[in-house]
Structure 1
Amino acid sequence: MSFAPTFPFAGRLIRTLAICLTVLTACSNAWSLEASTVRIGVLAYLGDEAAEMEWGPMAAHLRATLPDHTIEILTLDHAGMRELARRGEIDFLITNPGHYVELEAELGASRILTLESGIGPSPAASVGSAVVVRAGRDELRTLADLRGLRVAVVSPEAFGGFQLIWRELHALGLDPRRDFRELRSVGFPMDRVLEAVANGSVDAGFVRACLLESRPEYADRLQVLAPRPDPDLGCAVSSRLYPDWPIATLRHTPPALARAVAVALLSTPETSAAPHWAVPADYQSVHEMFRELQIGPYAYLRAPTLMSLAERYWPALAVLVTMLIAWVLYTVRVEHLVHVRTSELREALAARDAIETRMRANQEQAEHMGRLSVLGELSGTLAHELNQPLAAIGNYAQSLVRRADADRLTEAATREAATEIVQQAERAAGILAGIRTFARKRVGERTPRRPGEVVAETVALFRGMLAQAPEVEVHDRLPPSLAIELDALQIQQVILNLLKNGYDASQDLPPERRRLDVTLHTDDDGVGISVRDHGPGLDPAVGARLFEPFLTTKPDGLGLGLSICKRIAEAHGGRLRATPAADGPGMIFTLILPHHE
């Protein structure tokens, strides 16, 4: 069923804005909408054929506006629409206001537009009901005269076909289920109600407003009972007016698709045969009706309490037994929930432990890779450094051979050469042992160590790996007996990183600016180990992001060294900071480690 729509100025303005909005949002929505089948469920209160004729032009308009989507119109009854919506097999639904309010509370339906059918003064007041009786029943003048009569309705769930008139009868103190001789449900299509009244099988029927006027074959045989005066409606109505039908989304409907469909419907041309739509109306009047009748979302208002039932129907002993049973069931339920919750917590703790184990393994792997990265950067000159002791060993060995060939080999010469060979071999072995210790992968272990010893070992490793190592001055201002809990290898990794960064920053500068200073001192938060270079310093923009992963100022750097150093410091409960030198060029990197007495 369709009606010739009217277009007030506000409606024309909305559609004009909607057309503009369609152009502006087409590009932004195109990328977020994938081609899909859009299923729209429609309440077929006049039957499937009439529904397809009424909503077919709308489907054609949507197909033209949204060419990437397949538009399907599904004609349904109340139960069918509720079931498909519950299973998520429709994306939108178009139904009467009462059915929509029920689905809104039950399934989370949400209106996006309201039908502008042209009936009534506005979409907010377009739907009403009419009570039809046979022409000539002059004894029937008001709705109160329906008491004791036979009445036909579509179903108790029908909004315009029952519930609207029920509200008017409720205001008069009448209950259709109690005060009618018969309340007959004839089902869809609604024309069956008109047929039942016309053939005399019932005395009256409830139908949607304007249905009788759209059926000229009943014009002489039927009339509307107790019509309300409403010159703007254009047809007789026996009830108050309510908002028109909405089109609504469901919980699973993609928001981008909802926007696209809403914009497409609002941009329906005025000359189109498709139904026209307006912005969503206020359905509070429908909620008020349901609340008065205590149906739909408000059915709980008429449910009797346990106490009232006990007072009316059960003796005191039965009440006591019921309460005892309820308490036992509640206790069992609580125990079950506690057991379930305990199992969930146990599983959550196990999952957390597994995540922490993986995080520790990943952190150890990152630290190991960081150490290998430092070694890779420093070991370019390692061969030259090892070549010196090896060359000295070779020279002394050849000297022994030549002396033996010349019969000039003495015990003193042999002892001197052997001593030098041992010393040079120990030097080479020390270099390799330090690198092997630093590079090996192992589980972190914290032991009490003196920070000065750790720094001295790191400086020796650093200088031993460079052919032309810079001068490194260590200033230990800590008490000689001070020891703190730390992972020596991780702290060596941090200090070696800072020494290497200082060396890289100043290696192209004059010799007097290549010096590195390491200072051990007490800090407000613990023990501080500061590495100061005399390089050009850092740009403030770089300094603000210095410890972010993958940020580097070196052409071949990965940008992970300082990030790993920061994590190591934080894992020890400390921190790593960088500040420009106050007494000249360069940067000062300070590792703060907590010291607990």
Structure 2
Amino acid sequence: MPLRTASPFLKTLGRPLGAFVLALLVGAAGAPLFAAEPSAADGVSAASFNLADVRSMQYQEDVLANELVIDEKTVPAHPGDFVFAIEETGTNETYLRTMMPLVEALRIASPERRVLVRRIPSREFAQSVKAEKIPFVLATSGTMVSLMDELGAVPLAVRERTLTGGRAAAAAGGLLIVDAKRRELGSLASLKGARVAVESTVSFGPWQWLMGRLIKEGLDPENYFAAGEWRPHDVPDVFNAVLSGDADAGLVSLCTLERMEREGFIDPTVFRPAAVLPGGAGPCRSSTPVLPDWTIGYLTTAQSDAVRRVAAVAFSMPERDGWRWGTRVDLSEVRGLMQALHYGFYAYLDEQTVKGFVKRHAELFLALAALFAFVVFHALRSRHLVRVRTKDLEAALAEKTRMEEEARVSRERLSAIERVGLLSQMSSMFAHELKQPLSSLSNYIGGLKLWNARRPTSDADRAMAEGALEAMAEETARITSIVNRVRGYAKRSTEPLKPCDWTAVIRRAVLIVERHDARRVPILTAPGEYLAADPADDRPAMVLGDQLELELLVLNLIRNAGHAAAGERDGFVSVSLNREDGNFVLHVTDNGPKLSPEGFARLTGYGDSVKQEGLGIGLSICRGIADRHGGALRFLQLPTRGICAEVTIEALPDEEENDKKNADGGADASAPSPDRTKEI
């Protein structure tokens, strides 16, 4: 170990021993910890705490972050508070499964103290912790080594996996996965030159551990793989990249594949692990060395009483899903790997290589490159002048072809508009002829209600008949409203827009399809901001619109999606409603067969149906309704199969104000929509 790194490392060997011994004594005794003497810096240090409730605690999966954690950035810390900084790696997995249980345990053991948490990105973690003087940190093992060298941090506990017989093992590693159909991929040698989709590269993690294996086996880590591509949406994008062929292999964290298979998120026969090392952490397979996982550490700003409490609580927490906090914090292997990769604190080693020489003389190399580029440009300029005439001619021919194509498209649209106009006239005639029969039907239903009320029969029989007549009257009124609306369109007269609840409109449209559509498939309501799993928990989404027109819009989209997925054995339709930048966004998604480029382009046509039996006016009506409400309708082609219809309508100003107030009082639960679709 170099001399410059040995000193801060040796300082960390003795300082955590007191906390470790204290935690072990508390775990053995099972009694309340004696009170520490109060100090000026810690006004509540004399309060005792009991770990019995911590050992028997039940983890609360449904507790929201804002109910347990206070943001340390916005709330000032008081003496006695537990102040943590957690490394933000781009996923909430660690925050929910590691930080939140620790916060809950600290609250149980010390209810008189607050727990303040600051989420800091990996790239600025050490600087922020130092600047804000945060006493406790929860970080990855690589970041903890950097904190030890730069700030004198002391590792207190490490997250480890429990094995058979009570043994414990390091819990961090990575697994390479490949498409099960690609039988040629399996060993590490077969993946040379492969494109690897990486779960995350914002911190010291699986990609660096994989490079460490290459170094250990005498391979060149910089040139072994063709590319390591970071996927912006973590685990789902890694699996999708492998399945779609965008990557030859994917690299995910330890136990991710097993957990996804166990919870039913993926088919166990679709993906296959590759380059698996023997051994590993229990039932989880690994393609990289298994190293220490997330660690709890403290800095010199931490009070001794607070350190003892955090250590005692962490080591007293019950095991959760095979994980626990362990005392054997050995980061020497992590340090050695960081030194071999010239990572983090050891980046200065690059200056002793050819690459470092190039970095030091970057300006000179740039000047030489600019001179060479000028010479090449001068040589190519003469050739360019010769080709100008040819390119002009090619551009003229391309423009002619483009204009001919535009003329063809215009003719097709004109024909479609004429067909829509004819259908509009026919619809007006049908609406006029249906008005009288509908009025008669309403009168008959009214007469049947009077007859039913007076006929000699039982109350149950009369109530059943009354319910059927009420349903008939409701549907008749709805048909009459639609007929009147069609006549209004023919006369160019429409009802004024009024505030209405789009959530209730969507629920009614779903109910109509479930009751009356013979070709329907299961309609799944995706729980989100406004549509809940239980309709009773829905939130109102107020927009300025016409309730009937919005119902026709949603009804048409759900029916089209259901008909598209009806031929699939596992066909379904998913409906969700979310809030984005002052607008309500409705998504209607199906898993029907993937459309050809020509079929997908027909969705943007005018009066052109993608169904053989369709007249081509359903989507035109939907676009007209969306335009009248100041919204937008577009379609997204999903990567493997299915279509997503997206409708955006502006929310009412009052609703925006309410959402703003709600956002000020709680955590933001919105999530960005997937960008893996092909937009029109």
Same fold (TM over 0.5): no
Per the normalisation by structure 1, the TM-score is 0.44
Whose Rg is larger? 1
